[in-house]
A = this chain, B = another copy of it.
Amino acid sequence: MEDNLESVMRNLGIAARQAAVVLAKAPPQQKNDALATASAALLESKAAILEANEKDMQAAVDKGLPDAMLDRLKLDDQRISAMARSLDEIKELVDPIGQVIGQWDRPNGLRIQRVRVPLGVIGIIYESRPNVTVDAGALCLKAGNAVILRGGSESFHSSRKIHACLVVALKEVGLPLGAIQMVPTTNRMAVGYMLRDMSSYIDVIVPRGGKSLIARVQQDARIPVMGHLEGLCHVYVDRAADLEMAKAITLNAKLRRTGICGAAETLLVDRDCANTHLAPIVTELLDAGCEVRGDVATQQVDQRVKLATTEDWSTEYLDSIISVKLVGGVKGAIEHIARYGSSHTESIVTEDAAAAEAFLNEIDSAILLHNASTQFADGGEFGMGAEIGIATGKLHARGPVGVEQLTSFKYVVRGNGQIRS
């Protein structure tokens, strides 16, 4: 069985490497035709996908998985249509491969160009959402990369049917089937094998999932990782904040969608405006059905507020829960975020330009906003098209990982006989 797994995985690796060579040279039209064909195939296969999803859902219910996970796993007519639309949108993105992203001449006559190229082979390890199969597969294809997908075992049947639509499309346009492969087993040892033993086949691992998955990947990987950490995002309401704006931004940042990584988890309020701003914002959160866990001062605002523990400042709820704390101005906010944040996304609400600049400059997070909701932390909202997620590492990609972030570059140097003196 183990021998068999190894040979299965190695074959995936070999096929991916071979496909990557073809994909690097594939014309934009051919890749786009594949995306269009896959989109149509998804719509045509709705019944089969829903049937497979029903099987996954049944097993998940039997296993007693929590509702949030069931919701992520569940497919319906609309969600499948959304996946097909996503493919159409990725098709419309500018093809990044071959773009000259820098060019200069040297005094000796050499002309240097930086030219965008694919990364090669990408391994994506994700959890229960079946739609990642489509987005990750399509973005990698657009960027000229071969991809090996390893989805969660809960969504195995759904992902397999979705993957079959992508394979139909590759076949139809004459691209190698090694371009988008799915690990054909739920054996968990496959993940370890990908991380540790496939460094000659896989150029980058992109983990997309919860804390424990990311921790495992960072511990075991012998391959570069493009990390997507949790989003412990903060909204800071400064003494110079417009109250209505602060209310609107906090409510939106927390409650528009609670399950995404750009959702706010902690509200920090300047002690100097606690008298005027704290109660209205907290009351509105409570009235909207949000659980509030506050420090002592916040508790005094409303008896529905629970007392926060230290653990709350470092908890990513991904739920209708928010922690609230008074801080000593922008300096206090910066200190709190340095201590408890996950370097993802933070927002300051203020009319004071100096406070805003301090916040934007001094905090070391991927995305910093002034007078806007943290829920804008999204590749689509940034105008970058679809994304795989928000990278919180500082190497290569930081922030939204879209098609450009899935590329590398090379230097092309043209001369007429130059030698170095």
Give A contacts to B, CB under 8 Å: 24-25, 98, 104, 106, 110, 112, 117, 119-120, 199, 203-204, 218-219, 222, 224-226, 242, 245, 248-249, 251-253, 256, 356, 360-362, 364-373, 375-376, 378, 381-383, 393-396, 398-399, 408-420
Residues of B contacting A410 in the complex (Cβ-Cβ under 8 angstroms): 364-368, 398-399
Q: Are A413 and B372 in contact (CB under 8 A)?
A: yes
Residues of B contacting A256 in the complex (Cβ-Cβ under 8 angstroms): 419-420
How many whole Å from A17's CB to the nearest CB in chain B?
10
Known A372-B417, A375-B420, A398-B411; 15 more pairs at CB < 8 Å: A117-B364, A204-B394, A204-B395, A224-B224, A224-B225, A364-B410, A368-B411, A368-B412, A370-B414, A371-B417, A373-B420, A376-B420, A381-B420, A398-B410, A399-B410
Residues of B contacting A419 in the complex (Cβ-Cβ under 8 angstroms): 248-249, 251-253, 256, 372-373, 375
| Closest residue on chain B to residue A395 by CB atoms | B396
Q: Are B120 and A418 in contact (CB under 8 A)?
A: no
Q: Are A372 and B248 in contact (CB under 8 A)?
A: no
Q: Given that A117-B364, A245-B417, A256-B420 are contacting pairs, would A112 and B382 also be in contact in the complex, using a CB cutoff of 8 Å?
A: yes
| Closest residue on chain B to residue A262 by CB atoms | B420
Q: Given that A371-B418, A419-B248, A420-B381 are contacting pairs, would A120 and B364 also be in contact in the complex, using a CB cutoff of 8 Å?
A: yes
Q: Are A120 and B394 in contact (CB under 8 A)?
A: yes
- Partner among B104, B120, B376 whose Cβ is within 8 Å of the Cβ of A110: B376
A119 to B398 alpha-carbon distance, docked (Å): 11
A225 to B119 alpha-carbon distance, docked (Å): 16
| Closest residue on chain B to residue A382 by CB atoms | B112
